[in-house]
Amino acid sequence: MERRRRERNIRLLTPTTEQRIDYDKFFKLELEMVGGRELELKFLASSAGLEAALRVPLLAPLRTAPAIAQVSTYFDTPEQELRKAGLILRLRESSEGVIQTVKQDSAGIERGEWEETLTTHEPDLQRAAQTPLGKLLADEELRNRIRPAFCTRINRRRTLINFGRAVIEVAFDEGEVVAGEAHAPITEIELELKSGRRSGLFGLARKLVRSAPVDFSLISKSERGYRLASGVWGDSVKMTPPHLDATMSAAEAFSAIAHGCLRQMMLNAPAFENGQEVEAVHQTRVAIRRLRAAFTLFRPLIADSAFPALAADLKWLADHLGATRDIDVLLIETVEPAIAREPEAPGLTQLAAFIATRQERSRESLREAMASSRSRKLMLDLLLWVEDGPWRHTPLAQGEKTESLRDLIARRLRSSRKKLAALGENLADLPEEQLHEVRIRAKKLRYQAAFFEALANESKGAKRYRTFIDALERIQESLGQIQDAQATAAFLEEQARSAVSEAMNHDPLVLFAAGRLAGAHPDHEALVARAAKALDKALAAKPFWKKL
């Protein structure tokens, strides 16, 4: 009922011939709201990105919009118990007044939001207790430990526009997040749907990305603040397993998994500029691998008209990351340790120096790819496709005649395991090309199964799950050593020959040094035997999905 009242009020304010709206009147109505849903898209931008965005005709009103100084303080216990419960408590102060907000800490673009105006400059926990925070705030001891965790200081310019039958608030934020002595700059553009169709919000977002060098982000100011307060902002990030529920539909589960993969990619972006590029490349590549594994697992549900182009663009980005990762691994795990063991080995130092130049070239190519309009468009298109792609409007995704998540897991993982069994038959007799295929299949199956770790741990399938995953990991590791040795040998030879041909002052002993490293082959027979034993165990393991 409250939502209908809100939308009615917005429609009364929506002009038929102009894009501008009486902003003061609108926000007076907006602040009357007690609770609702926030649907927001966020973009990171440089100063040049903001200037380019201001040149978009639709956003012209922002050129003259006044900048409003806002200080937002986020509250939590020292143990971050509110955040762990998936809730955010914020007090925002500006010339427009004091607003207390409780939000769901969601990985997606839509979340619950409960706002109220206050007359004090301290959080009103009694009023906050009328929101989903109530259960936590019933604990007096916890309530007494709530204190400021960090704050943001922002200059915000904002306006409302009509686009695609939607009323959208556009805000430009410039400022910083502050946690103790730590500071991190913030330059963002936010698009929030106030009324009307989601498609209008999505259409404006696409127009913005096509018109200005801005990067779509799933990282909220609160997450940035929490990570800064914990001293880990800018560090490389491993994926957090998605929170899944056995009662979810398959569409809901895929959405949660995809959001988690995209979030991991975006959280690793600052690490590229923070001296952690090697690990950032690795973790971003892992995130894409997991997302592609989810594509395979949920393909019967999501393979719509947009799917092939998105999958192709994702592979394009994965290939750039893979090329850089291969050189990083070669240099860090093979060449540099060899120099440490034999610093006087002829040709080895020259080979390392040449590979280092190739490493920098590869990184530069990757930076260009990730900063390209193709990459920026891909990140937004992936998210909007997950949220509102053609597959979302099929009877299967909408819940008509759909199978449960449990049934989908069983059917798809059973099929993947069957394919692994067929590929790995008589493993000891397979040529190395087919051993590589077995490794890839085992790795994809491990990624797919790992999405459901939390479900397995909450059920009687935990022991079965761990047995299955451990066996797949051993297959991947054992066959990976064989594949890595071959790839390293071929790559070393290529780099050595290039070093000799491209730089006349490089001694031909570079080829000799590369040959020595390439000749250090692992015990092929022992590794295949180990992989075969692990394969037998994986195939014999009782399916953990039957216990979910």
Q: What is the pLDDT of residues 108-137, one digit of tens each?
A: 788 889 999 999 889 999 999 999 999 999
Residue 22: pLDDT over 50: no
Helix (H) or strand (E) holding 195: strand 182-196
* Higher per-residue confidence, 14 vs 481: 481
User: What is residue 111's predicted lDDT score, i.e. its pLDDT?
Assistant: 85
Amino acid 135: pLDDT: 92
Q: How confident is the model at residue 496 (pLDDT cuts 50, 70, 90)?
A: low
Task: Give the pLDDT mean for 208-231.
Answer: 93
> What pLDDT is stored for residue 507 in this prediction?
62
Q: Is the pLDDT of residue 207 over 80?
A: yes
Pick the closest to residue 44 from 211, 157, 202, 189 (CA basis): 189
Q: How confident is the model at residue 266 (pLDDT cuts 50, 70, 90)?
A: very high
What secondary structure letter does DSSP report for 379? H
Residues 6+ apart with CB under 8 A from 206: 377, 380, 381, 384
More confident position, 409 or 26:
409
Taking domain 237-399, whether its CATH number is 3.30.360.10 is answered by: no
545-548: list long-range contacts, CB under 8 Å, 24+ apart: 545/406, 545/409, 545/410, 545/413, 545/414, 545/452, 545/461, 546/410, 546/461, 547/456, 547/459, 547/460, 547/461, 547/464, 548/246, 548/406, 548/409, 548/452, 548/455, 548/456, 548/459, 548/461
pLDDT category at 11 given cuts 50, 70, 90 is very low
Residue 328 one-letter amino acid: D
CATH architecture of 2-233: Beta Barrel (2.40)
Place of tokens 């779509």: 216
In this prediction, residue 264 has a pLDDT band, given cuts at 50, 70 and 90, of: very high
pLDDT score, position 506: 55
d(CA 254, CA 246): 13
Residue 35 has pLDDT above 60, yes or no: no
pLDDT of residue 500: 61
Going by pLDDT thresholds of 50, 70 and 90, the confidence category of residue 268 is very high
Rg (CA), the chain: 27
Q: Quickly state the pLDDT bin for 26 (edges 50, 70, 90).
A: very low
Average pLDDT for the chain: 86
Mean pLDDT of 525-547: 91
Please tell me the predicted confidence (pLDDT) of residue 2.
40
* Token pair listed for 339: 């120099």
For residues 285 and 298, give the distance between their C-alpha atoms in angstroms, rounded to a whole number. Answer: 20
pLDDT > 70 in the chain, percent: 89
Average pLDDT over residues 500-529: 71
* Residue 179, burial from CB neighbour count under 10 angstroms (0-12, 13-18, 19+): buried
Q: For 89, list phi and psi in degrees, rounded to 5.
A: -120, 120
Using an 8 Å Cβ cutoff, are 382 and 302 in contact? no
Nearest one of 181, 183, 124 to 153, comparing CA atoms: 183
pLDDT reading at 495 higher than 70: no
The rounded distance, in Å, linking the Cα atoms of 161 and 59 is 8
Spell out the domain ranges in the chain: 2-233, 237-399, 403-548
DSSP for 106-154 reads -SSSEEEEEEEEESSSS--HHHHTTTTTHHHHT-HHHHHT-EEEEEEEE
**For residues 397-404, average pLDDT:** 66
- Res 520 pLDDT > 60: yes
How high is the pLDDT of residue 10?
A: 35
